Structure 1
Amino acid sequence: MDKQKWKHYLTVFTNNNLGMIGIAILLFYIFIALFAPLISPYDPTARVGAPFLSPNSNFLLGTNDVGQDILSELIHGTRISILIGIIAAFLSVAIGCLIGIIAGYYGGKIDNFLMRVVDLVLVIPFLPLMILLAAFIGPSFWNIIFVISVLTWAGPARVIRSQVLTVKTKGYVEAARSIGSKVSTILSKHILPGVVPIALSQFVLAASQAILIEASLSFLGLGDPFNKSWGTVLYYAQARSAFLTDAWLWWILPPGILITVLVIGFAFTGYSMEEILDPRLRKGRKSNE
């Protein structure tokens, strides 16, 4: 894709209020994740106070049942939650791109077979399969990423395939095929550049989905016990009966808010990117306004 088109996309995106809000939220979370050791007031694994302390000047969000600072847990948990979301989304979209490009470009029996596989993955009950698979392979950082990637690639694959079907009918692609260009050349120089923008928007939306799935699995006790994420914090809060005391205000509510705001940031960014790629969405929004 030429630089002029990327410049146009950037200009449209910077004029999108929701997109800029989404980017600001994501940058804020990324800053916390990168500099967690410097921002965190305490070591999240150390006992620094009495158990179940309410918020005070020393512990802004109080302490948990063993006296660990909850704010420090959440700051370090930002790094784990975002890292899992980004890696899982990358693998999910990469698998989806591979399947979607093969199916869309070759068509015929290959397309029919791969799309039936996609349909099968999409119709299988998601929640029971997610819990069963996570429980079967065991809790760990990479196992959670594997579960998320395996269960979420089908959606991006369908979207990428639709884009490939559109791109391969373009005149320059048909001209390249007519002069006998290699398939690898056509895919790398013509098909892939037309797929990248869609893949980026799918990645952003997949990341938000991955963070929600990780939080859900960790809350159910299927997360990595050696790396505290926001979902893990919620799991221990629920296991220690925080819902039955006032501790839910500082032990359960903050991680829930953090997850919600981050997902909103991803959603705003992803939807804005989709509007850039499909001008009809922008026209529809303006007409509704």
Structure 2
Amino acid sequence: MSGQAPAPVPTDVAWARRRRALAAFWRDYRANPAGLYGLAALLLFGLVALTAPLYLGPQQLSVIHADGPVLAPPSWEYPLGTDNFGRSMLDLLIWGSRMSLAVGLLATFVSVALGALVGIVAGHFGGWSATVMMRITDWFLVLPNLVLAIALATVLSRSVATVVLAIGLTAWPTTARLVRAQTLAVEARPYIERARALGGGHAHIMVRHVLPNVMPLVLAQTTLLVATSIVAESTLAFLGLGDPTVVSWGGTLQQARAAGAVSSGVWWYLVPPGLAIAAVALSFTLCGRAIENVLNPRLREAR
């Protein structure tokens, strides 16, 4: 019939549903002031890190070309003072944000990807394979993450990739446990049985049905793990296990310790990178808690 409206395209319907879900998520997220403060701080840190190459060059960070006064206190010319090589602490702080944020995000991606894979596979298949994977997960859980990361960073070569792997390979068990529990809950729903009855294989069920339902939990866990990863990267760099050729907040603290800034009272060498690490970790934690409140109905009802 000519007057009949055309049938909606399935892809258009799916995208409209996603847009409504995102709008509802943002509406609930805005109701959390702490989450908004954390998001604003992260956007500021991200903007500073991305635009750093536009106004900072290699000579400003080079030890050889440094021409400023050594360990000078904050002044109009050097707002955060200088280090023991005469470099501006403000320049080091800005450039160090690139490495600290990059390592934190990459290590979190490795950790969350590994944990989600183990959790989904263990929750879907069950049986002896799930028992073995969960016992391995428990073994990693009882080990101190920092000690294991230090051991890996000591054995492998000193590089950024080593730090990423050392953090990512030690922080995944918590994600695996959470994702497995969520996978078991999803697998118990009726539409999973219908998918199996219609011939859906293991890969189809895990990718098309289980993964979308555990993604909100993975997203919340990711934002919380980034803060832990940034602190772990700073700790490894502070202990001298990072790449000495790159500038990071933890590396700056390690250089300050080696230069005797603590005993000399050169607080401007220690305080800025320490506060930056704390601010970024707090911002990610605030965002993670806000996302968790939005995605978890029980936490929403408790507010």
TM-score tier by shorter-chain length is over 0.9
2:61 partner SS: coil
Q: Work out whether residues 35 and 290 of structure 2, in 8 Å CA contact, stay in contact via their aligned partners in 1.
A: yes
Residue 52 of structure 1 deviates from its aligned partner by: 1.1
Moved more, 7-16 or 210-219: 7-16
Write the distance in 1 (CA, Å) between the matches of 2:189 and 2:24.
21
Match in the other structure for 2:5: none
Could you list the per-position Cα deviations for residues 37-96 of structure 1 after superposition, in whole angstroms to 9, with x for gaps in the alignment?
A: 235497122403121111111111111111111110110000000000011101110001
1:233 aligns to 2:233 (yes or no): no
Match in the other structure for 1:277: 295
Match in the other structure for 1:44: 61
Match in the other structure for 1:65: 84
Write the distance in 1 (CA, Å) between the matches of 2:171 and 2:109.
11
Normalising by the residue count of structure 1, what TM-score does the alignment of the two structures yield?
0.94
Higher gyration radius (CA): 2
2:81 partner SS: coil
Identity, in percent, stands at 36
Moved more, 24-33 or 123-132: 123-132
Match in the other structure for 1:20: 36
* Gaps in structure 2 of 5+ consecutive residues: 1-13
Of 212, 224, 229, the residue aligned with 2:231 is 212
Q: Work out whether residues 146 and 232 of structure 2, in 8 Å CA contact, stay in contact via their aligned partners in 1.
A: no
Q: Which amino acid aligns with 1:129?
A: L
Of 259, 269, 287, the residue aligned with 1:251 is 269
Moved more, 217-226 or 40-49: 40-49
Q: Work out whether residues 217 and 231 of structure 1, in 8 Å CA contact, stay in contact via their aligned partners in 2.
A: yes
Match in the other structure for 2:199: 180
Cα 1:5–1:168 change in 2 (3 A) is farther
Q: Which amino acid aligns with 2:281?
A: V
Write the distance in 2 (CA, Å) between the matches of 1:152 and 1:188.
23
Q: Which amino acid aligns with 2:296?
A: D
Q: Work out whether residues 73 and 80 of structure 2, in 8 Å CA contact, stay in contact via their aligned partners in 1.
A: yes
Q: Which amino acid aligns with 1:270?
A: G
Q: How many residues are paired up?
A: 284
RMSD: 1.5
Q: Which amino acid aligns with 2:112?
A: V
Write the distance in 1 (CA, Å) between the matches of 2:149 and 2:103.
16
Match in the other structure for 2:158: 139
Moved more, 130-139 or 53-62: 130-139
